[in-house]
Every structure is written in C-alpha cells, then in structure tokens.
C-alpha cells in the first residue's frame, strides 16, 4: 500500500526541511514547493492527501492555493501556516475553505495532531466512510431549507473551522452540531455540549479547564474540564452569549493557543478540540452592546450556520410529526400514536415559537390526553398557549413585568415558613435572602408552568429564559411535573 502524499509549500528552506522531515518520519510521502507557481504545477499533476502551505509566498499568497484546492471539488484538506500572532490570517484562510492552520513557530506536536486529523478526512477509516455514506441524517425534513442545511453540514464536517450556529430556541442547533460531529473525522471521539448559561460563574474556569488536586478547598481529586473531555472531538458551547466577560477572555486564549491550564497547574496542556458555538441571541448585537467580546465573536463566527424556524418550513410538519409519533409509540411499548382528522392542519396554522421541541412537547402531552392513541384537535391544548406570531420581545417583556409584579406582590405575605420569611410586617427583611429568593423563584416558575399546562417550552418563553435554563432551575429547585392521572 502506498503512503499518503503531502504537498508542503514554503519559501523558507529551513522550515520546509523541518516540515518535510517531520512528515516523512510520520511515514508519509512528501513533495515540496518553494513558490506558488511550483505548488500549482505539483497540485495539477498529483493526488494529495493534504496540502500544507505558508501564507506568504514570493509569487503570491497561500490563500490563492487554498481557493484553488477548495474549488477543485476533490475534498483534499489544505492547511495554512500562519505567522505568529496573525489570528486574522487563520480566520481568513478558514473562511476561504482551509481545513485548519498551524501557527509559527511550528510546534511539531501540534503539527502531527493536525496532520493526523487531516488524514482521517482524506483517508477515512471504515467507520467513518460507512457513517458518512449510509447513516441517515438525524435532522428530519424534506423542505428546501433542510436539504440545503444537510448539504452545508456535509461540507462543514470536513474542516476544523469554528462554526457558529444560530436559530431560535428548539430549532435544532444542538442536533445540527451533533450531526456535524457525527459526519466528521472526529466522530469516534467525544462530543461534549456545554450550556454556558447554566454554569455558575464561580465554577466556570474549573468546569472548562479542570483543576489539580488541592487547587482549592474541596478539590479532593484532579479533574478534567470540558476541553480535556472533548479532546480529539468536538466541544459545543451552547448559549455562548451567556458567558461572562471574564470567561470570554480565557476561552479566547484557549481557542487561539489550543492549550489550557488546569486550576492549580503550572504547565499548560495541548488540546485538540473543534469548537461549535450556538446561541438564540443576536451575537453581533451583543458585541455592539459590549456584552460579548469582539475578538471572541470573530474567532467563533468563522462560519455561520443558520437554522430556519419551524414556521418557515411547515412542509416538514408531516414527516416530523410522523417521526415523533413513531418514537412516542415505541416509548409507550408499541402503543398506537396517530393523528385524527384536521390535526395536521391545526398544527400548520400554529406558529411554533418553541420550534421542533415545542412540537415534541405538544404531541407528547396530547398523546397523554388522547383516547386510544388517536390525537384529536382538542387534545393539542394549543388554544390558551397559542400565539399567532412568535412570542415577541414585547410579549416576553410583558411576561417578565408580570413576573416582577408577582414577585413584589409576594413580598408582602410571608412566602412560607421555611423560606426565610419576613420577621414581621410588609417592610420587614427576610432572615435568609437566598432562601427567600428561591421561594420567589419557585413560585414564579410554578405559576408559569401552571399557566402553560406544564409546557416547559412555553413557560421558558413566558419567563424570557431558554428551555435549558428553565430545566436547570427546575432541577435545582426540585420542581417536578405532576403525575398524569
Ligand atoms: N430537524 C429536526 N429533526 C428532528 N428532530 C429535531 C429537528 N430539529 C430539532 N429536533 C428536536 O427538537 C429538540 C430540540 O432540538 P435542539 O436541542 O437541537 O434545539 P436547540 O436549537 O439546540 O434548542 P435550545 O436553543 O433551546 O438549546 C430535540 O429533541 C431535537 O431532537
């Protein structure tokens, strides 16, 4: 069997030689070029498993070669070598279709990691070839929007470029990220999804980067963070707009350097992680308002992937509903799960502010009310929760105002004997602020859940928080869904 062949393009003879020797020692065949012209001639005459090019060449830019290789449609990964500190170059190359980059001075371990990863793309093992070819996409839908999305995911899965996924809550951002990972050369390694909005700020650094034994009180053992756990795989930063500014600085550094340091450790450790971020907020707006760092935004937003809301692809409702009902029927030990007359039409007239997750919730709930597993229009309970338009920010603001008013109203009577109740009179202070606030929070969440017949998607929207935040708060406060009778 012949070894994979690599094209190395660099005008600096020393670096070219170093790259050549390193790759040959990895058992690879190497062709070297010192100019863009030579590189183009070699590229035209041979098949390569990877092209590795410097950005500045005597007769042009490495970027031109990136564009040639990307446009060839052969799918050959091309990586660039960027000058120290020129993060902009790396981002420009990734946007132009580069697979990945290494920074000068080239750290040989980093180079080897990148090369192995590229070879998995150009020479996928049996698992990956089978996965790419045969596994049906988890993203259900035949609409033009979903077909375009699946095609884009197929292309993005082949590179290391950071992807920023945008879309409304419940539209499938995490599912899309999992799909990118599953189709990538990293599929056999971990996929770790982190909800940045659900981690208490004080714990963030430890959660992301890990800690050494004895680094702080309670650090009884050494622990890995998300970066180490995702090593070789993909790290999804969900609700990334919720990251506090101090953590944004640390994250930017980790992404740029591809190194992290555990709390209490003296040395950094390399990490090979592909970053996918997601948010339902307008991150560019967060940058304008100073809530999100421009440099991190630029770093994360190399390639944008937008998920359409369900109301803009209603033609997918039929297949989605069928798939969800099949799953619910299987979960109910093969119980029947079907739609009665007019149900699909009713669903089509609904705006689904909570998107596919809301459709799942609506159907699950309706099935609990349905006779003989046949869901009728009345079982959908869409009426009270129905919104002709997606829940607008004014509606959310109104809900938040109502919640705030409820909190004020609650302040007068004692919220409960165990809740740090005021000692006496309306103006008295609670004797435990945390307990008191918990009680207020529990009460407001319960009201929102009652108002939406325990539909968590809608309750989260009423309260202006994400579904995951609500789920996290419910777990924290021990709020459980009442048993169905
Ligand atoms: N196209 C789709 N096909 C099948 N299931 C889908 C699709 N899109 C979303 N879902 C399902 O909807 C639910 C919500 O999806 P997911 O968690 O990926 O949404 P999200 O956009 O990440 O939500 P959030 O913004 O709240 O984090 C999941 O159960 C997911 O499996």
**Helix (H), strand (E) at residue 206:** helix 204-209
**Are 168 and 240 part of one and the same domain?**
yes
**Are 68 and 118 part of one and the same domain?**
yes
Dihedral pair phi/psi, residue 233, rounded to 5°: -120, -140
| 263 found inside a domain | yes
Distance CA 368, CA 379 (A): 9
For residues 263 and 211, is the Cβ–Cβ distance under 8 A?
Answer: yes
**Are 244 and 291 part of one and the same domain?**
yes
* pLDDT, mean of each 10-residue run, the chain (485 residues): 89 94 94 96 95 94 94 92 78 91 89 89 56 68 94 90 94 96 92 93 93 86 94 95 95 92 93 94 93 94 94 94 92 81 92 93 89 88 49 37 34 39 50 74 86 85 81 82 59
| 136 found inside a domain | no
Q: Convert the pLDDT of each residue in 143-167 to its tens digit.
A: 999 999 999 998 899 888 999 999 9
Q: ipTM exceeding 0.90?
A: yes
**Are 221 and 343 part of one and the same domain?**
no
Question: What's the 100 CA to ligand 1 centre distance in angstroms?
Answer: 28
Question: What's the 184 CA to ligand 1 centre distance in angstroms?
Answer: 20
**Helix (H), strand (E) at residue 394:** helix 393-411
Query: What atom in ligand 1 is closest to the CA of residue 167?
Result: 21
**Are 71 and 183 part of one and the same domain?**
no
- pTM reported for the whole predicted model: 0.75
Strand partners, 303: 163
The CATH number covering residue 166 comes to 3.40.50.300
Which residues lie below 8 Å from residue 45, measured CB to CB, with a gap of 6+?
none
For residues 63 and 92, is the Cβ–Cβ distance under 8 A?
Answer: yes
Question: What's the 154 CA to ligand 1 centre distance in angstroms?
Answer: 18
Question: What is the 8-class DSSP label of residue 201?
Answer: G
Domain count of the fold of the chain: 4
Strand (E) positions, 10-57?
29-33, 50-54, 56-57
Give Cα separations from 12 to 16, 34, 62, 180, 215 (angstroms).
6, 8, 13, 36, 44
Q: Which of 385, 418, 434 is the last residue of a domain?
A: 385
Pocket perturbation via mutation, ligand 1, pick of 357, 360, 455, 461 by most ligand atoms within 8 A of CB: 357
Distance CA 349, CA 355 (A): 13
Strand partners, 338: 374
| 379 found inside a domain | yes
Q: Which of 107, 123, 139 is the last residue of a domain?
A: 123
Residue appearing with tokens 């990293």: 186
| 484 found inside a domain | no
**Are 359 and 378 part of one and the same domain?**
yes
Question: What's the 59 CA to ligand 1 centre distance in angstroms?
Answer: 48
| 131 found inside a domain | no
Helix residue spans in 210-354 (DSSP H)? 226-229, 245-257, 283-288, 294-300, 317-331, 343-348
Supply the residue whose CA is at minimum distance from atom 16 of ligand 1. 172
Helix residue spans in 135-203 (DSSP H)? 144-156, 173-182
Q: Which of 265, 282, 306 is the last residue of a domain?
A: 306
For residues 364 and 332, is the Cβ–Cβ distance under 8 A?
Answer: no
**Are 258 and 218 part of one and the same domain?**
yes
Query: What atom in ligand 1 is closest to the CA of residue 171?
Result: 21
Distance CA 39, CA 9 (A): 6
**Are 169 and 285 part of one and the same domain?**
yes
Distance CA 175, CA 310 (A): 14
Site residues for ligand 1, CB cut-off 6 Å? 139-141, 167, 169-175, 238, 280, 320, 356-357, 360, 466-468
**Are 326 and 302 part of one and the same domain?**
no
Query: What atom in ligand 1 is closest to the CA of residue 177?
Result: 18
Query: What atom in ligand 1 is closest to the CA of residue 356?
Result: 12
Distance CA 427, CA 437 (A): 16
Query: What atom in ligand 1 is closest to the CA of residue 146?
Result: 1
Please compute, for residue 442, the number of CA atoms within 13 A of its CA located in the half-sphere on the CB side. Answer: 15
Question: What's the 407 CA to ligand 1 centre distance in angstroms?
Answer: 32
The tokens of 178 are what? 């999992």
| 482 found inside a domain | no
| 206 found inside a domain | yes
The tokens of 131 are what? 């996965």
The CATH number covering residue 339 comes to 1.10.8.60
**Are 66 and 156 part of one and the same domain?**
no
Pocket perturbation via mutation, ligand 1, pick of 141, 148, 175 by most ligand atoms within 8 A of CB: 175
**Are 369 and 412 part of one and the same domain?**
no
Q: Quote the distance between the C-alpha of residue 47 and its chain's center.
A: 34
**Are 110 and 152 part of one and the same domain?**
no
The CATH number covering residue 102 comes to 3.40.50.2300
Supply the residue whose CA is at minimum distance from atom 31 of ligand 1. 175
Quick one: which of 252, 264, 273, 286 has its CA closest to 206?
264
Supply the residue whose CA is at minimum distance from atom 1 of ligand 1. 139
- What pLDDT sits at residue 123? 67
Quick one: which of 316, 391, 392, 330 has its CA closest to 359?
316
- What pLDDT sits at residue 19? 94
Q: What is the domain range of residue 401? A: 393-477
405 exposed, middle or buried (CB, 10 Å; 0-12, 13-18, 19+)? exposed
Helix 36-45 and helix 62-71, axial crossing angle in degrees, nearest 10 = 20
Query: What atom in ligand 1 is closest to the CA of residue 307?
Result: 21
Q: Percent of the chain having pLDDT more than 70?
A: 85
The tokens of 376 are what? 């009728």
């Amino acid at each position: 069997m012949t070894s994979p062949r690599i094209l190395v393009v660099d005008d600096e003879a020393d670096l070219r030689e170093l790259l050549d020797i390193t790759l040959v020692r990895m058992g690879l065949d190497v062709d070297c070029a010192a100019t863009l012209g030579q590189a183009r001639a070699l590229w035209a005459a041979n098949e390569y498993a990877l092209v590795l090019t410097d950005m500045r060449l005597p007769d042009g830019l490495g970027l031109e070669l990136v564009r040639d290789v990307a446009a060839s449609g052969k799918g050959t990964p091309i990586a660039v070598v960027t000058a120290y500190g020129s993060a902009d170059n790396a981002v420009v190359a990734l946007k132009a279709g580069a697979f990945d980059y290494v920074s000068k001075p080239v750290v040989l371990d980093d180079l080897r990691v990148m090369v192995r990863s590229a070879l998995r793309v150009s020479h996928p093992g049996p698992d990956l070839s089978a996965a790419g070819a045969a596994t049906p996409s988890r993203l259900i839908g035949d609409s033009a929007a979903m077909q375009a999305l699946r095609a884009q995911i197929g292309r993005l899965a082949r590179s290391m470029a950071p992807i920023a996924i945008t879309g409304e809550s419940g539209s499938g951002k995490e599912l899309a990220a999992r799909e990118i990972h599953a189709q990538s050369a990293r599929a056999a390694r971990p996929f770790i999804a982190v909800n940045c909005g659900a981690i208490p700020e004080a714990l963030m650094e430890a959660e992301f980067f890990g800690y050494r034994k004895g680094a702080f009180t309670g650090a009884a053992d050494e622990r890995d963070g998300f970066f180490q756990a995702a090593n070789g795989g993909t790290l999804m930063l969900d609700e990334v707009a919720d990251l506090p500014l101090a953590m944004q600085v640390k994250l930017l550094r980790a992404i740029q350097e591809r190194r992290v340091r555990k709390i209490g450790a003296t040395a950094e450790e390399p990490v090979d992680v592909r970053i996918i971020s997601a948010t339902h907020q307008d991150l560019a707006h967060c940058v304008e308002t100073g809530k999100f760092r421009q440099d991190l935004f630029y770093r994360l937003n190399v390639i944008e992937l937008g998920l359409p809301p369900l109301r803009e692809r209603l033609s997918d409702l039929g297949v989605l509903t069928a798939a969800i009902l099949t799953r619910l029927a299987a979960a109910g030990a093969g119980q029947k799960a079907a739609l009665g007359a007019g149900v699909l039409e009713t669903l089509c007239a609904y705006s689904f502010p909570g998107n596919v997750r809301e459709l799942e919730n609506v159907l699950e709930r309706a099935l609990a009310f349905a006779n003989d597993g046949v869901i009728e229009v009345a079982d959908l309970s869409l009426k009270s929760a129905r919104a002709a338009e997606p829940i607008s920010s004014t509606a959310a603001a109104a809900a938040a105002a109502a919640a705030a008013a409820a909190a004020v109203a609650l302040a007068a009577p004692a919220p409960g004997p165990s809740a740090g109740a005021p000692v006496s009179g309306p103006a008295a202070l609670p004797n435990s602020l945390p307990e008191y606030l918990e009680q207020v929070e529990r009460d407001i969440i319960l009201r929102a859940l009652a108002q939406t017949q325990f539909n968590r998607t809608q309750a989260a929207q009423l309260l202006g928080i994400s579904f995951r935040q609500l789920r996290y708060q419910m777990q924290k406060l021990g709020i459980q869904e009442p048993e169905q009778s």
